[in-house]
Structure 1
């Protein structure tokens, strides 16, 4: 475990304006902040991002906030006020990337939509994350991650066939959408740079510049993008993939099994050579040498038989013994980790997957380390999630506001 002092990062010098709440938009900008981007997060005065009060709290603030808002600067703006909209517009025109996850049309009401800003800055890159995207008959409906997961297909295939679909225990739809937003932002940034670079005409003069664009991320489409061979299987074979519990349908064997000490173990012996090693390791030479089982297409019709054989072997072994035997046989195998397992696991520790930081009062806190790992320009945590409005004066001064004007904005409840 380490306390990181990150390099400037590969995104040093990139300015990001975050106009979003909760998960998808903030997670997108969080990743940019982790790799050096200067991220300004706009929050509502008095209450801030609702995520500040989600899940487990410390002194009234979510522990999740420490991670989701790390390296960001907090600016409070009452976006219903024209003065606040003017401040946001100034920041947007200076930004390389704008990230927002309001319902489609909200920014347009404030004259902050993509087309509005593009007229003033042709290099504008705006990442828009919403439930259904910026077009289509459903675009105006509220679309949370759970809805995106359902419509995108992942809920339908999650769980056991004889029970209703289940959700994964995290907000996977929002997070997957955020990752698509990061990918889109990086591609748009690359395109902008190769077509002329950043526009920086603060005096309002329209200058030759690189081409910006809108990155339209729909939650349901981001989930849909993960669904592997779902579409061609249905189109060509009429196959509707169903729930299969812990197994991976059509790829055999790959399932979850229970050991003698009541622990769960995942075994993925679906490669042809791996399958043979697995069968020999569990003392089933008959199956290892069965010509019908040499290839996956021969194993699929005998899935239940293969799973019964593996389960029978696991039932006679503790999880530690099973892991040792199968790892020695070079078979992909692993236990199912809880966070308690992770915090003491040698692999997690060797990879420095935890960072040690502290709250303002000095109380220590561990955070997950930044991924992916870059060899020359790694990301890291400069500070944990900020206090609400912590950077108001700093940001407003950078826009030319003096202390008297800032005090007036505070009195007018603009900030």
Structure 2
């Protein structure tokens, strides 16, 4: 059975991460997503690391499940083909700087004239308004200006960290916004234009740090929440890392103290309450770390499990892929078949009645141009002429 967005057609005019990630999530839900790329070069992520070939890991990660067509939007014929295709779609989205497509005569106003109920999403770096609206913005810039970076790294000695959180958060919020727009049109019958930015998405993610500051004046940092949530990391005698998250239930603290053979810590005034454990976080961590260093990780995880303490190994990517629980969740799936088969992380939501299944592999550049434009009425001769002129 097809996914819940089966029958929805979406035109993606976006590059790199934020827009393509949103498009991929909608494709995972069963939408037909047509990715528009520049002839000859395509999405910059096809050759982001200078690698040979069109399907690099960077491109594949954000573009499975889509069709790819090439169109040179700087040409009159390319613009005409774009408009003809766009009006067959339920939703169009792009991630260019504000006004780029309007200057070419193929922005929202042009599309709305041809199809009043069209949905149009713009994914910007800084937004369409404000003094920085025309600034080039990538993941690190959005992390920095939004405050997100300050939650990931010590601002007194800042270092960039991965993955591309601002980019992918923007993609998630973009997909969320597009789903809301589709539901809204289903109820009202009306199209609309809407936007979000990497700045707005990254700030929207920081609900707790921002409310904390507004209510208490506290400037949160990368270690604020771990202390409050009582999250700890340790290594066993085999130097394998693991995590413990005590949260609020007192039983988890009692379980840890008992599992490590230090029951006297339960009533120690420094650690007896969650408030006390927050205040003496470093001291408690040091005490437990010394004990955890005496046995291998597996022994400690077994002991903690016996007392129902939330704990887990800190996996590398390869270890996470091999994790039996991840396998039980069917998180690794194969997209495509034969020479095109590619094993990738799958979609995390499981629908009982409209399940999504692995579909198309990441597309070759322009792989579906002839089929998509042919369905719009372009003949073989037309396509040959457009190809010769560099339009497709």
Q: TM-score, normalised by structure 1?
A: 0.88
Q: Is 2:290 aligned against 1:286? A: no
Measure the CA separation in 2 of the matches of 1:212 and 1:363. Answer: 37
Contact 1:277/1:288 (CA < 8 Å) preserved in 2? no
Which residue, out of 349, 352, 361, partners 2:327?
349
CA separation of 1:354 and 1:57: change in aligned 2, threshold 3 A: farther
Measure the CA separation in 1 of the matches of 2:118 and 2:340. Answer: 41
Give the corresponding residue for 1:329.
307
Measure the CA separation in 2 of the matches of 1:141 and 1:266. Answer: 40
Q: Secondary structure at the match of 1:68?
A: coil
CA separation of 1:365 and 1:142: change in aligned 2, threshold 3 A: same
Q: Cα offset for 1:220?
A: 1.6
Q: Cα offset for 1:334?
A: 1.3
Which sits farther off after the overlay, 176-185 or 398-407? 398-407
CA separation of 1:211 and 1:306: change in aligned 2, threshold 3 A: same
Q: Secondary structure at the match of 1:413?
A: coil
Q: Is 2:160 aligned against 1:167? A: yes
Q: Cα offset for 1:13?
A: 0.6
Measure the CA separation in 2 of the matches of 1:412 and 1:160. Answer: 53
Taking the TM superposition and a 5 Å limit, the aligned residue runs for 1:68-83 are: 68-83=62-77
Q: Is 2:387 aligned against 1:410? A: yes
Give the corresponding residue for 1:189.
182
Higher normalized helix content (fraction of residues): 2
Q: Is 2:216 aligned against 1:231? A: no
Measure the CA separation in 2 of the matches of 1:363 and 1:121. Answer: 36
Taking the TM superposition and a 5 Å limit, the aligned residue runs for 1:48-59 are: 48-55=42-49, 57=51, 59=53
Measure the CA separation in 1 of the matches of 2:95 and 2:336. Answer: 30
Which residue, out of 36, 40, 45, partners 1:42?
36
Which sits farther off after the overlay, 19-28 or 113-122? 113-122
Which residue, out of 371, 375, 379, partners 2:348?
371
Which residue, out of 255, 263, 267, partners 2:232?
255
Deviation string for 1:354-399 (max 9, x for gaps)?
1235576x27532212222222222232221111111111111111
Q: TM-score, normalised by structure 2?
A: 0.93
Give the corresponding residue for 1:198.
none
Contact 2:226/2:232 (CA < 8 Å) preserved in 1? no
Contact 2:270/2:280 (CA < 8 Å) preserved in 1? no
Which residue, out of 70, 76, 98, partners 2:92?
98
Deviation string for 1:182-220 (max 9, x for gaps)?
11011111110011xxxxxxxxxxxxxx12222311112
Taking the TM superposition and a 5 Å limit, the aligned residue runs for 1:104-119 are: 104-119=98-113
CA separation of 1:115 and 1:250: change in aligned 2, threshold 3 A: farther
Q: Cα offset for 1:98?
A: 0.9
Which residue, out of 180, 196, 202, partners 2:173?
180
Deviation string for 1:229-267 (max 9, x for gaps)?
2223223332111233xx734415212122211122111
Give the corresponding residue for 1:312.
290
Q: Cα offset for 1:306?
A: 1.6
Measure the CA separation in 2 of the matches of 1:396 and 1:60. Answer: 22
Q: Cα offset for 1:60?
A: 5.3
Equivalenced residues, count: 391
Contact 1:253/1:307 (CA < 8 Å) preserved in 2? no
Deviation string for 1:283-304 (max 9, x for gaps)?
2322213467454223221212
Measure the CA separation in 1 of the matches of 2:27 and 2:340. Answer: 23
Measure the CA separation in 1 of the matches of 2:346 and 2:226. Answer: 33
Contact 1:266/1:335 (CA < 8 Å) preserved in 2? yes
Taking the TM superposition and a 5 Å limit, the aligned residue runs for 1:293-304 are: 293-304=271-282
Q: Secondary structure at the match of 1:410?
A: helix
Contact 2:47/2:54 (CA < 8 Å) preserved in 1? yes
CA separation of 1:236 and 1:31: change in aligned 2, threshold 3 A: closer
Which residue, out of 145, 153, 161, partners 1:151?
145
Measure the CA separation in 1 of the matches of 2:111 and 2:21. Answer: 23
Measure the CA separation in 2 of the matches of 1:292 and 1:191. Answer: 54
Measure the CA separation in 2 of the matches of 1:153 and 1:225. Answer: 11
Q: Cα offset for 1:23?
A: 0.7
C-alpha RMSD of matched pairs (Å): 2.1
Q: Secondary structure at the match of 2:87?
A: helix
